[in-house]
Each structure stands twice: as structure tokens, then as C-alpha cells.
Amino acid sequence: MKLSIIMPAYNEERTIEEIVRKVMGMDVGLPKELIVVDDSSSDGTPLLLKRLAQTYPDIKVIFHKENLGKGAAIRAALQQVTGDVVIIQDADLEYDPRDYPRLLAPILEGQADVVFGNRFHGGPHRVLYFWHAVGNWLVTTLSNMLTNLNLSDMEVGYKVFRADVLKRINLTSNRFGFEPEVTVKVAKQKCRIYEVPISYFGRTYEEGKKITWRDGIAAIYYILKYRFFG
């Protein structure tokens, strides 16, 4: 078994070195590769990634010439995946690679095809925005109603897949539409889905948070689109 970590990155010069060190230093008992997609960053992220790729032999870096979004970055990285299990890892330090063992366990034990992290039950998490929590609950509830799942945190960034499952899904959305799209499509495929508690160190907008209320509206659109037309 081999683990592939996909890391979309956009303007993360303050965090990219630390998160790469944490990922590459995490011992999960499996060989691993890290595929970073720089989504046309305008800060020092590309330069730092070039330096990191020279330091760590198991890093592949893809550079987008224009900003295409998280979903597009994941699709680009999937073409380079050689592992049996895939973890989506954000580059902003909100998610801690020390949670990898618990995320991987249901798949490695043959119980799951897909594992979702759960930011709100069981692990420490930073207390931040009330209306973000309300929005997350609303889109998760709508997603559950239309997929007949009982997820607690559909929008969580930590999602883990058997590689063959993720590769056979026809992903089309860009930006943050990846989360609702992949949720609807793994439900349609009747994948075995597990949730595990994770820690979550959310950041403020001043610290670089990028998701906004517009992405919540878009999530509703994508849930409806992929449930009925995708």
C-alpha cells in the first residue's frame, strides 16, 4: 500500500514550508508521495515549492499558469497519483497531519472506501465564526437530505479515498465545488463512507482564510446540480 497526499496551494507562503515538513515527517507506516499544485500563486509560494521539491525527493509540484480553483488543482494532481489511498490536504495549517492514522484506519482495515473528517465531534477545534457554523450545518443538512447520508461535516477539508474510487469519479467542478460534488458522487456510487473526529485549527480572514458566504451559496447550487443533473 502507498499513500498519495494531494495539496492544492494558493498564496500560502506563510504556511507552505511548515505544512510540507509536517506531511513529509509524519510516519503512517506506508510509503507516501506528496503532490502539490500551486494554483498560480502571486506571492512567494512557487519559489518556496521549488526549493522544497529539491529537499524532499517524494514531492511532485505542478504549477498552474492561471488560478483555476481547488477542484481543478485536485483533478490535475490525480493524474500524477501512484498510491492506493489518497488524502486531500489543505496547505493552510487548519488541518493537522497527525490525524492521518485515524483517517486511514477504516480504509486500511477494509471497512471503508471513503473517510470524512469531522471537525466538531471529538477533536480540539478553534472557536471562530458562528455564521460559518450555521452555513456548514445548512449545506450538510441539504446534502444529507438529497444523498440519504448522515454526515456531520460535509464541507470538511480532510477527505480520504481509495484511489480507484476517486479516479473513477468524473470530477468537473472548480474552486470549492469539489466538496459537494465528490460527496454526492460517492453517495451515488454507494461507497462505504466513514467519519472520524479530527482536530481543526481554523484561521481568520486576517490570517488568510479564503472561503466566503458566496461559496456557501455555490455549495447549495452544486449539491442540487450533481444530485439531479451530474
Q: Where are the beta strands (DSSP E) in 132-200?
A: 159-162, 193-197
Q: What is the pLDDT of residues 100-123, one digit of tens each?
A: 999 999 999 999 999 999 998 877
Stretch among 74-78, 108-112, 165-169, 211-215 having the lowest mean pLDDT: 211-215
pLDDT for position 129: 77
3-128+156-170+184-206 topology per CATH? Spore Coat Polysaccharide Biosynthesis Protein SpsA; Chain A (3.90.550)
* pTM value > 0.85: yes
| Residues 6 or more apart whose Cβ sits within 8 Å of residue 59 | 20, 24, 33, 34, 35, 36, 52, 53
Q: What is the pLDDT of residues 60-76, one digit of tens each?
A: 999 999 999 999 999 99
d(CA 91, CA 7): 6
d(CA 138, CA 142): 6
Q: Contact at 8 Å (CB) between 58 and 32?
A: yes
